[in-house]
Amino acid sequence: MIELRNVAHYVTDRIGVTKLKVEEYITTDNMVANRGGIKECESLPRASTVTRYDFGDILVSNIRPYFKKIWYSNRASGCSNDVLVFRKNDDSWDTKFLYYVLSQDAFFDFMMSGANGTKMPRGNKKAILDFSVPDFDLEKQRRIADILSTYDNLIENNQKQIKLLEEAAQRLYKEWFVDLRFPGHEHVKVIDGVPEGWRKATVSDFATVVERGITPSYSDSGKYLVINQKCIRQSIMDISLARRQTKKYVEELNIEESDTVICSTGSGTLGRVGQVFGEYANTTFDSHVTLVRSIEYKNFLYHSIKNQESYLMGMGRGSTNQQELYRDVIERASIGIPNEIILSRFEMMAIKLHERITSLSSQNSLLLEARDRLLPKLMSGEIEV
């Protein structure tokens, strides 16, 4: 074994913010928990310069290391000061191997063991470099990296397919219910923007549940999971960012397959709309999230609300830093309800896309579990390559 400081160092180079593209900037907020990589950033910082990262660097969030946020860079750009940028010291080390070394639970546990602070712990940069790295020759490093990369490549391909399926469902909704090019539209009169046989309604007319969540009692040993606004950064709710808690709640507030969830507090995420994929026992949502549910046509309801995401984002009330999206605003949001034939046909097509996304997401969960079981065994030499 060899100390990390003899393998890699922190990058301290700076780059001007004016030279950055917003979608390439990295902060702890757009890094995904549990080794999930990154999402696109939404804004650049006010600072004049930030840390520069390059192709092949390894970025690790230094805030709350237990979230296990890490990314292998495939480009050059900039990142915030709370993101550690590791770069190999010399060519005797394979950068992808180093990425997998730092992806281990053992590394994040090591970061936490020397972290400062309780509410928002930060890793001790000096102590982190004491971490022990397997001293394998370059060829063995590459063999290990190749094995683990096979899993990550499959996961990435599935994620690309999921994105395409999401976009297909959104296009289908827009074509039928926004552009009004639904099957048989040529033979239907449109009066005041409403096709004959359709009706104008609101979310409250269609939904059976529109509720804000609970105030949780957080505990790592809690029986229940509670989702929060961080779980709704994309269209698919991310259960990996849910937290454990102990407070009991009524059965109606347990999330269900295909429920719609909406960020309802704060200025940055207010109005963001996501959907639940999968069944989750003992899982609810906190008071910053609104759940919308219908008995039938759940996918139609989700896409009807998702289509008004921009509208909801602008409907916050209160001070700039603590805006609220109140339940009555969501309930009054208008939706056009088609006849039963069109509604059933759309729902059937949307369900097929939803099921395919669920299947791919399940595959990714299994691939992640297999990779994470294999990783420490390869690093310890228990499995020889």
Domains: count for the chain: 3
Looking at the structure, do residues 210 and 117 belong to the same domain, yes or no? Answer: no
- Asked whether residue 183 is domain-assigned, the answer is no
Pick the last residue of a domain from 322, 337, 352: 337
- Asked whether residue 78 is domain-assigned, the answer is yes
- Asked whether residue 296 is domain-assigned, the answer is yes
Looking at the structure, do residues 215 and 333 belong to the same domain, yes or no? Answer: yes
Looking at the structure, do residues 9 and 112 belong to the same domain, yes or no? Answer: yes
Q: pLDDT tens for residues 73-112?
A: 999 999 999 999 999 999 999 999 999 999 999 999 999 9
| pLDDT score of 275 more than 90 | yes
Phi, psi of 237 (to 5 degrees): -60, 135
DSSP string covering 121-147: -B--HHHHTT-EE----HHHHHHHHHH
Looking at the structure, do residues 319 and 209 belong to the same domain, yes or no? Answer: yes
The CATH code of the domain that includes 382 is 1.10.287
Residue 244: CB partners within 8 Å, gap ≥ 6?
Answer: 218, 219, 220, 221, 222, 223, 224, 225, 226
CA atoms within 13 A on the CB side of 385: 20
- Asked whether residue 186 is domain-assigned, the answer is no
The CATH code of the domain that includes 7 is 3.90.220.20
Domain hosting 160: range is: 136-178+340-385
- Asked whether residue 191 is domain-assigned, the answer is no
| pLDDT score of 188 more than 80 | yes
| pLDDT score of 156 more than 80 | yes
For 339-348, what is the mean pLDDT? 95
Looking at the structure, do residues 97 and 34 belong to the same domain, yes or no? Answer: yes
Q: Which residues of 86-105 are buried (b: 16+ CB within 10 A; e: fewer)?
A: bbbeeeebbbbbbbbbbbbe
- Asked whether residue 193 is domain-assigned, the answer is no
How far are the Cα atoms of 290, 318, 384 from residue 322, in angstroms, in the given order?
A: 16, 6, 54
Looking at the structure, do residues 148 and 113 belong to the same domain, yes or no? Answer: no
Confidence of residue 320 (pLDDT cuts 50, 70, 90): low
Looking at the structure, do residues 142 and 105 belong to the same domain, yes or no? Answer: no
| pLDDT score of 319 more than 80 | no
DSSP letter for 292, please.
Answer: E
Separation CA 260–CA 239 (nearest Å): 14
- Asked whether residue 244 is domain-assigned, the answer is yes
For 321-335, what is the mean pLDDT? 91
For 306-329, what is the mean pLDDT? 88
Looking at the structure, do residues 206 and 324 belong to the same domain, yes or no? Answer: yes
Q: pLDDT tens for residues 8-61?
A: 999 999 999 999 999 899 999 889 888 888 888 878 888 999 999 999 999 999
Query: Could you give the percent of the chain with pLDDT greater than 90?
Result: 79
Looking at the structure, do residues 237 and 252 belong to the same domain, yes or no? Answer: yes
Q: Which residues of 219-235 are buried (b: 16+ CB within 10 A; e: fewer)?
A: eeebebbbbbbbbbbeb
Pick the last residue of a domain from 80, 106, 135: 135
- Asked whether residue 189 is domain-assigned, the answer is no
Query: Could you give the percent of the chain with pLDDT greater than 70?
Result: 99
Looking at the structure, do residues 208 and 301 belong to the same domain, yes or no? Answer: yes
| pLDDT score of 65 more than 90 | yes
Looking at the structure, do residues 168 and 230 belong to the same domain, yes or no? Answer: no
pLDDT for 234: 80
Confidence of residue 150 (pLDDT cuts 50, 70, 90): very high
| pLDDT score of 165 more than 80 | yes
pLDDT for 375: 95
pLDDT for 384: 87
Looking at the structure, do residues 203 and 333 belong to the same domain, yes or no? Answer: yes
